[in-house]
Amino acid sequence: MSMIAVLGNGRVGGSLSAALTRAGHEVTVADRSPGAAADAARTAQVVINATPGAGSLERLLALQKELEGKILVDVSNATVDGPDGLPAGLLHPGSSLGEQLQEALPGTRVVKTLNTMLYTVMTAPGALAQAPTAFLSGEDPGAKQVVRGLLEDLGWHPEWVTDLGGIRTAQATEAAVLFVPHVIRSSGFAPFAVSIAR
């Protein structure tokens, strides 16, 4: 059992916190009330960033002290949204939110994952017709091992998880978000994920 803080109580944060609680973890969800994020992060072993990516860097920078020595699981994508609210571009071209977080929080072990799928797939990967892929990007092997365990608790089979390497590889997975508006416009708001077929 891990003590987990989920920052963000929208659809992503809500579904992750409910699934991890069902798996037996002690989960605290931080809403937007003053001090809630700091209180949650202070007592957690693992902190999950499920806040909107465009404001994540600023929010998490304010928690630098509380995040020191912690594992930060970043599932957000920093995008510039189009008129319909869907991603139209990347906020950090040539970089990624994951990289920006690791650079800004050198004492925190950042792991990027679960950002290449519709949020419903994060906690129900087996519901798709074919096996999806969850990617891991991060500098710390131990942190990635902990995150692998959390993914298994969410229903991800070990063979569905691919470690891409260091945090720079988050550039590739974050860029995959640019598929999202086109897939939604062509197929509707149905569960989907990026999958590596072998």
Place of tokens 């950002």: 115
Per residue in 153-182, pLDDT (tens digit) is 999 999 999 999 999 999 999 999 999 889
Alpha-helical segments (H) within the chain: 11-22, 36-43, 53-61, 64-67, 97-104, 119-122, 141-153, 170-175, 180-187
> pLDDT category, 31, cuts 50, 70, 90?
confident
For helices 11-22 and 141-153, give the axis angle rounded to 10 degrees: 80
Q: What b-and-e string marks burial along 97-112, b requiring 16 or more CB atoms within 10 Å of the CB?
A: bbbbbbeebeebbbbb
Looking at residue 85, its pLDDT comes to 84
> pLDDT category, 50, cuts 50, 70, 90?
very high
Q: How far apart are CA 183 and CA 156, in angstroms?
A: 23
Q: What percent of the chain has pLDDT over 70?
A: 100
Question: Which two structure tokens, joined as six digits, stand for 145?
Answer: 């091992």
Tell me which residue of 173, 111, 171, 98 sits closest to 141, measured CA to CA: 111
Per residue in 107-123, pLDDT (tens digit) is 999 999 999 999 999 99
β-bridge pairing 26-30 and 71-74: unpaired
* pTM of this prediction exceeds 0.75: yes
Q: How many CB atoms lie within 10 A of CB 128?
A: 17
Query: What average pLDDT does the segment 43-48 reach?
Result: 97
Place of tokens 């869907």: 86
5: pLDDT strictly greater than 80: yes
